[in-house]
Structure 1
Amino acid sequence: MTEITLCNDEHIEYLSKELGLVVSKEHTFGTDALLLADFASPKRCDICCDFGTGCGIIPMLWCRDGCGKEISAVEIQEKACDQLTRSVRANKLQDKLFVYNADLKETPLILPCGKFDVITMNPPYKAENAGIKSRKENEKIARHETLCNLRDIAKAASKLLKFGGRLCICIRPERLFETMEAMKEYKIEPKALRLVAASPEKAPWLCLIEGKLGGRTGMTVKNNLFVYKDKDVLSDEMMRILGKYREDM
């Protein structure tokens, strides 16, 4: 990684000894993004896109792990795009990871339709009219459907994906049915579901769902993923997912 100029609220989060990501108080990442990146796991030859990429944690993890032949990262917030653009340059990924400062609803006008093997989205978890909205614009966009909703995501993905291409989303359990409805409306058939819980004693707090464009009816429910196997002791699978990231923490 080459030298990079940081703003006052920014720092480098190392995803491995060689790969660093610019994060800030406004644009950082959480466990859900790490889980979604692993759940989607593109093949080396796949053409991929991450909607609402934020600081770019998902595409940067794919680059670290050798996933995807070509990756497009779409983000509407200019500051987040600037962070990721600097990360791409510092890690010399300009030939693989392409950043677009754009509204995901406009991606069919910007990106080639019918080309993508995998699209991911870590969407706002709350509907536009649900709960108390943050006064901070970046938090409002991240948490509430102020700029896009689940139907917008499914509609854009249905145009960009090739037949049989996958849309992978992480969402709160209370919005799972709504997510599947949006997928099916745009011919993306839900094919795989995995629930994430803090421990075997706790109720799931996250759903990882995969849909295939033009897929046949029938969904596989995978075994639950537990973050902890004991109090403050990460599960073996969570250790695997964190992997190289934890080694440099």
Structure 2
Amino acid sequence: MGVEILDNGTRVLTAPGAMFGTDALLLGRFAQPRRDERALDLCSGCGIVALLWHDAGHRGPCTALEFDPAASALCGQAAAENGAEHITPVCADLRQFCTAGPEQGQYDFAACNPPYFAAGPRSPDKRRAEARHTDSCTTADAVDCARRALRDGGRFLLCQRPEQLAEVLSTLRAARLEPKRLAFVKNRPDAAPWLFLVEAQKGRKTGLRVEPDVLITSGAAMYGPRE
């Protein structure tokens, strides 16, 4: 088991098959729930996004939804070690989450770092392959779950590869999740983007703001151009 320490001392536990990358950190920092909002971390893995929100001061109820039992258990252990009782790990399939009853429309904020790949080479490690490929969760599945879970006006944050941009924006709008903020992630100002971050809001009018690129410099994310 590995341990990563966030900016304000929160411990994140990792293990083979339950790691996290730069995209998860970017997602968790691009937008965050307000201190007391009810939050939902979809495809939570080891709980990095929920724990990052905790590290930044979020204390409202937070559901960390993850399909893999071992990764979900790591999230629960980390939440206990950090005194983050407001984080509740739930091991379940997001395609069946919030499908009926009063649980629908109960969340103020949701985020998802979904599997990216529908094809191509697969890792021989089953858990890593599931985390990277869309067999058990497509972006459309995540969007549909957010649609069910969020209240009217609730916000949804998603990251994905640039080649999926048109499809993602179309899927969000079809689910009444109106894209409001969009930023591209680059390694250098003159490089092609390798990721985008989008924030949508449920049941709101059109109006998308394209923000300055997020630049990755010396291992750190910098929002907007720097001198």
TM-score bucket (shorter structure): over 0.9
Unaligned runs of 5+ in 2: none
Q: TM-score, normalised by structure 2?
A: 0.92
Alpha-carbon shift at residue 165 of structure 1 (Å): 0.6
Alpha-carbon shift at residue 45 of structure 1 (Å): 2.0
- Separation in 2 of the partners of 1:40 and 1:135? 34
2:111 aligned residue: 120
1:218 aligned residue: 207
Matched, 1:103 2:88: no
Distance 1:185 1:81, change over 3 A: same
Structure 2 letter corresponding to 1:204: P
Aligned length: 223
Alpha-carbon shift at residue 84 of structure 1 (Å): 0.9
Distance 1:91 1:184, change over 3 A: same
Q: TM-score, normalised by structure 1?
A: 0.84
Secondary structure, in 3 states, of the residue corresponding to 1:227? Answer: strand
**Segments ≥4 residues shifted beyond 3 Å:** 232-238
Secondary structure, in 3 states, of the residue corresponding to 2:98? Answer: helix
Matched, 1:61 2:61: no
CA contact (8 A) 1:40 1:118 kept: no
What's the Cα RMSD here?
1.8
Alpha-carbon shift at residue 203 of structure 1 (Å): 0.8
CA contact (8 A) 1:52 1:123 kept: yes
Matched, 1:145 2:134: yes
CA contact (8 A) 1:48 1:71 kept: yes
Matched, 1:74 2:65: yes
> Which protein is bigger by CA-based radius of gyration?
1
Secondary structure, in 3 states, of the residue corresponding to 2:80? Answer: helix
Matched, 1:42 2:42: no
1:134 aligned residue: 123
CA contact (8 A) 2:214 2:222 kept: no
Q: Percent identity?
A: 32
Alpha-carbon shift at residue 40 of structure 1 (Å): 2.0
Unaligned runs of 5+ in 1: 1-9, 239-249
1:193 aligned residue: 182
Matched, 1:19 2:17: no
Secondary structure, in 3 states, of the residue corresponding to 1:26? Answer: coil
CA contact (8 A) 1:188 1:215 kept: yes
